[in-house]
Amino acid sequence: MTNVKKRVFDIISIGRRTDIVSRAFDIFLAVNILANITVMIMQTFDCFSPLSGAFRIVEAVTVSVFAAEYVLRIWTADLLYKKLSPAKARLRFLVSFDGVVDLLTILPFFFLSGFIAFRILRVVRIFHLFRINASSDSFAVITEVLYEKRRQIFSSVFIIVVLMIASSLGIYSAEHDAQPEAFDNAFSGMWWSISALLTVGYGDIYPITTAGRIMGILIALLGVAVVAIPTGIISAGFVERYTREANREKHFQDIQEMGEVLVTPESGMVGEYVGDVEKAHGAKIYMILRGDMTVIAREELRLKKGDILILRSEKMKK
């Protein structure tokens, strides 16, 4: 049973390109997601109403695939979160982003004729499109950079929120007497402050007093700086990420068959799992020389500084 579960986990996870079954499942799931989203969009057109029965069948089939995948992911959650007990691993998956999206994708189908909230939740299915792109390196880089820079991004978002509140209060003080219908309370200018800070303004609400216009100019200038802060943070994160990738590739590019690689901080492999390094570089790590010990390379084993990897690279030198 353990081998069966491991094989199922390898199939439903985004695996290596050499795993034909896993790649076929990824393609099948991508087609299933696109079919479900396409049907959901076409159901909004009145001209396609005669095909509503066919759409309902396609939706039932695709949702059944989502449900089966959801059950399998719950079953194999202990292999995804190896450090947790089976019960905690399954709970961790249920509250994760993928788990919540999977659940909210399935539920609306069974309650579609009920509460309007369940019909609105069908929009959540669009988030399944992330799985189509999840196997690409570019998507992985984006998610890793956002996670690494989460504190700096949170700080910049906090600054934006503070400026929006301050500009809303300021424009209320300047424009309330002149435009009581447009700025009738402290937060009525929030829409204006957001459009002024993050865009050039929508035009439906605008200051007419001299003080309000001066404030509008200052807030528009601040908006340029506010947008530049998170942009600079994310750009710096991309540069750092690709620099690490370049340094890491230097350790593998000269290995055609068998070789040794030293794990150093510059390689970017310290603290990573053996399985992740193998997938990232198309290599098979057979053993690890760690001090006076020889360690069998298991996928869940973390690499340490000074480890020597005995491996074979699948990337042949051109």
Look at residue 246 and tell me whether its pLDDT is greater than 70. no
| Rounded distance between C-alpha atoms, residue 108 and residue 2, angstroms | 34
Q: In the predicted model, what is the mean pLDDT of residues 189-215? A: 78
Same domain flag for 234 and 270: no
Same domain for 199 and 218, yes or no, is yes
Q: What is the pLDDT of residue 113?
A: 53
Instruction: Encode pLDDT of 7-47 as tens digits.
Output: 888 888 765 566 788 888 888 888 888 888 888 888 888 88
Average pLDDT over residues 46-59: 88
For residues 226 and 238, membership in a common domain is answered with: yes
Same domain membership, residue 10 and residue 98: yes
Q: Of 211, 230, 247, which one is at a domain's C-terminal end? A: 247
Q: Give the model's pLDDT for residue 74.
A: 92
Token pair for 77: 């959650």
Which of 70, 104, 133 is the endpoint of a domain? Answer: 133
Regarding whether 119 and 20 lie in a shared domain, the answer is: yes
Same domain, 54 and 104: yes
Helices (H), the chain: 2-12, 20-42, 52-75, 77-80, 86-94, 97-110, 116-120, 129-133, 137-148, 150-175, 190-198, 210-250, 274-281
Is residue 185 domain-shared with residue 92, that is, in the same domain?
Answer: no
Which tens digit of pLDDT belongs to each residue from 258-297? Answer: 677 888 887 778 888 888 888 777 778 888 888 878 888 8
Place 195 in a pLDDT band, splitting at 50, 70 and 90. Answer: confident
Q: Are residues 97 and 31 in the same domain?
A: yes
pLDDT value for 128: 65
Within 8 A by CB and 6+ apart from 185, the residues are 172
pLDDT band at 205 (very low <50, low <70, confident <90, very high): confident
Band (pLDDT 50/70/90 cuts) for residue 5 is: confident
Whether the pLDDT of residue 118 is over 60: the answer is no
Residue that is last in its domain, among 247, 266, 285: 247
Output the six-digit token pair for 300.
Answer: 């869940």
CATH number for position 298: 3.30.70.1450
Is residue 8 domain-shared with residue 68, that is, in the same domain? Answer: yes
Q: Give the CATH number of the domain where residue 25 resides.
A: 1.20.120
Q: How confident is the model at residue 1 (pLDDT cuts 50, 70, 90)?
A: low
Residue 177 is assigned to a structural domain of this protein: yes
What pLDDT is stored for residue 145 in this prediction? 80
Residues 126 and 164 in one domain: no
What is the model's pLDDT at position 32? 86
Q: Is residue 144 part of a domain?
A: no
Q: What is the mean pLDDT of the chain?
A: 79
**143 domain-assigned:** no
Cβ count within 10 A of residue 58: 18
What pLDDT sits at residue 91? 93
141 within a domain of the structure (yes/no): no
Q: In a 3-state reduction of DSSP, which class is residue 289?
A: strand
Q: Is residue 169 part of a domain?
A: yes
CATH value at residue 222: 1.10.287.70
Does residue 58 share a domain with residue 116?
yes
- Give the model confidence (pLDDT) of 143-170 as tens digits: 778 888 888 888 888 888 888 888 888 8
- Does residue 182 fall inside a structural domain? yes
Is 256 a domain residue?
A: yes
Residues 12 and 98 in one domain: yes
Q: Is the pLDDT of residue 316 over 50?
A: no
Total structural domains in the chain?
3
Q: Give CA separation, 28 vs 9, 11, 65, 279, in Å.
A: 16, 12, 10, 21
The parent domain of residue 284 ranges over 251-313
What pLDDT is attached to residue 314? 61
Flag whether pLDDT at 119 surpasses 80: no
**pLDDT for 121 beyond 70:** no
Q: How confident is the model over 121-146, as a mean pLDDT? A: 65
d(CA 115, CA 117): 5
Per-residue model confidence (pLDDT) at position 254? 52
Position 318 in a domain: no
Highest mean pLDDT range out of 61-75, 191-205, 251-265? 61-75
